[in-house]
Chains A and B, each alone.
Chain A
Amino acid sequence: MRHLRIANVEFSSRLFTGTGKFSANEVMEKALLTSGSELVTVALKRVDLQADSDDILRHLNHAQFNLLPNTSGVRTAKEAIFAAELAREALETNWLKLEIHPDPKYLMPDPIETLKAASELVKKGFVVLPYVHADPVLCKRLEDVGTAAVMPLGSPIGSNKGLRTKDFLEIIIDQSNVPVIVDAGIGAPSHAAMAMEMGADAVLVNTAIAVADDPVNMALAFKMAVDAGRIAFESKLGQTLSEAEASSPLTAFLD
């Protein structure tokens, strides 16, 4: 399985994970270690930046994990940039999952504010991974302003509905020159495997692991599914086109 490179970092695992919704930080730690994930996203709003040792961060203090702070909660580009700078200083990383959702009900990402903020943050030296709708043109625009990857959604965040945006994800994957990470909506290992078979570079999973009855084993299941999907993609899946028919009534005259 080929390694994934984003900015200057190589990842052997293509399963990225979230840290919310777990029943306890100990459970989160164990599940994420089991998942093999090397990039874990942390909501700035959940971390106590004033505390000497925040409990969430303490449980993520493993060489395996790279932290990906996210801006969940902000509604505008301006708020996102402010939060990003705070995160960079407090968590000592210039990596950022940029999420701007003015709509707190469905948590739909704002394309206009996201593009604006991404452009600014790249100039400020951030490695920007923007969470966006599965909008192929927007993904190209983000690539143009210099984001390190794009993170289109599979279905509404937390919905566990799978790849409802499949047709658009295929276009994004086809067109993109930066890694494509399918984020949000992946509710089962089979969804993750499908995204990887399609050629996504990675997936980000949170709710499906955190809310499972057994988060540690579910993390393992996702690890296996992501690996399987990726290996299948690299091995080139068989074509699904049906065989040409014996007689070719339309082109027979050429013989």
Chain B
Amino acid sequence: MTFYDQISEVNWTQLGDSIYSKTTADVKGALEKEQCDLEDFKALISPAAEPFLELIAKKSHLKTQKRFGKTIQLYIPLYLSNECQNICTYCGFSMDVKIPRKTLLDHEILAEAKIIKEMGYDHVLLVTGEANKSVGLDYFKNAIRLLKPYFSNIALEVQPMEQRDYEELIAEGLNTVLVYQETYNKTNYKIHHPKGKKSNYKYRVETQDRLGQAKIHKMGLGVLIGLEDWRIDSVCNAMHLQYLEKRYWESKFTVSFPRLRPCAGGVQLKSPISDRQLVQLICAYRLLNEELELSMSTRESALFRDNIIKLGITSISADSKTDPGGYANPKQNLEQFEIDDSRSTEEFIAVIKRKGYDPVFKDWDMSLQ
């Protein structure tokens, strides 16, 4: 049994109805509880909860501080390659997008590492497209070996892999793997991912099961917000999270909130989410799960990021480049998506401190695994 069996039983329309039919009474009930369940989560992200946003945010703020303290974890993405054999309708790396392709060589990886290390970062997220021949297991092993002396925590956001591949990478020092389902809507998943290995919904949705079997320290999940109905997708994601937590109790979990942004591919937003609704969603996750890590990238605006620090987010990137080699050679136009908040690390740290939070750069050690 994997999560595929559980998600296959979900009727998308019925699930939607169960969210959109939530009432003010359901929301009030959820807010009175010490521990929310999935039905409460549905109520908290439903339109009925919108008038209660300040109260939801306050609860989220207090719960987050209790567990994570007045701290926020900093990380930075390091794009290793933009080669990709998938066609995804929304992605700037999609195979059919005419951009120059690049995969970093050893000396280029090290050049990037030195720069971001100097910027102060200690937790790094390695990102690629999906090009299994040139950027596969051996490439990642080599990259981790190169980067291990520089960083305390190495995370991967690349194509889904086999359990034994993950086991090998964990042995090399890999701590975290992020794989986003993009959408849990099985029918429309095919439309957004017409070609390439990524078009296999089942293989992707079972990735976290393989990671759990491999005993990964931390795994991340999420949906691409806006691709399909964000409320239904978020409930599916929460179901996935609950399924995983019960089975893989030795792993930690993190959820991210990527919103569709303009990129070289260009896709119409089916279900846009407003800033208010995104806050509602983030805080609802916190009320559902006190221990969950919640992460945010530089896709969001400076104003939004500054204010989300106190509301539930526990991990945040800054000063990021989303093109391979971008730290050493800026302005190559190879990026996956445009970032919004382009402030320097120093500027952003100053904001965090002004908010009364401690920016944490190191919260792991290679010696612990």
Contacts and interface: CB of A to CB of B under 8 A. Distances in A.
Interface of A: 20-25, 43-49, 71, 73-75, 79, 82-83, 86, 102-106, 158-160, 207, 210-211
Given A20-B71, A23-B358, A45-B364, 10 more contacts: A20-B69, A22-B71, A45-B152, A49-B365, A75-B250, A82-B367, A83-B365, A83-B368, A104-B217, A104-B218
Contacts of B356: 23
Of A21, A43, A83, A106, the most chain B CB neighbours within 10 A belong to A21
A44 B69 CA distance: 18
Contacts of A207: 66, 69
A58 B122 CA distance: 19
A137 to B, nearest CB: 24
B365 A23 contact: no
A79 B69 contact: no
B358 A24 contact: yes
A21 B252 CA distance: 19
B363 interface: yes
Contacts of A20: 69, 71
Contact of B65 (A47, A159, A211): A211
Nearest to A90: B367
Given A24-B353, A105-B249, A48 B358 contact: no
B250 A103 contact: yes
A68 to B, nearest CB: 17
B307 interface: no
Given A82-B367, A211-B69, A25 B358 contact: yes
A103 B369 CA distance: 14
A48 B69 contact: no
B365 A160 contact: no
A83 B367 contact: yes
Contacts of A103: 249-250
In the complex, the 5 A-B pairs of residues with the closest C-beta atoms, listed nearest first: A21-B69, A23-B70, A104-B252, A73-B368, A45-B365
Contacts of B190: none
B245 interface: yes
B358 A79 contact: no
B67 interface: yes
Contacts of A210: 69-70
B12 interface: no
Contacts of A25: 358
17 contacts: A20-B69, A23-B357, A23-B358, A45-B362, A45-B363, A46-B362, A48-B122, A48-B362, A83-B368, A86-B367, A105-B245, A105-B249, A106-B291, A158-B66, A207-B66, A211-B65, A211-B70
Given A48-B362, A103-B249, A21 B367 contact: no
Contacts of A24: 353, 358
Given A21-B69, A207-B66, A44 B353 contact: no
A160 B249 contact: no
Nearest to B362: A48
Interface in B343-369: 353, 356-358, 360, 362-365, 367-369
B365 A73 contact: yes
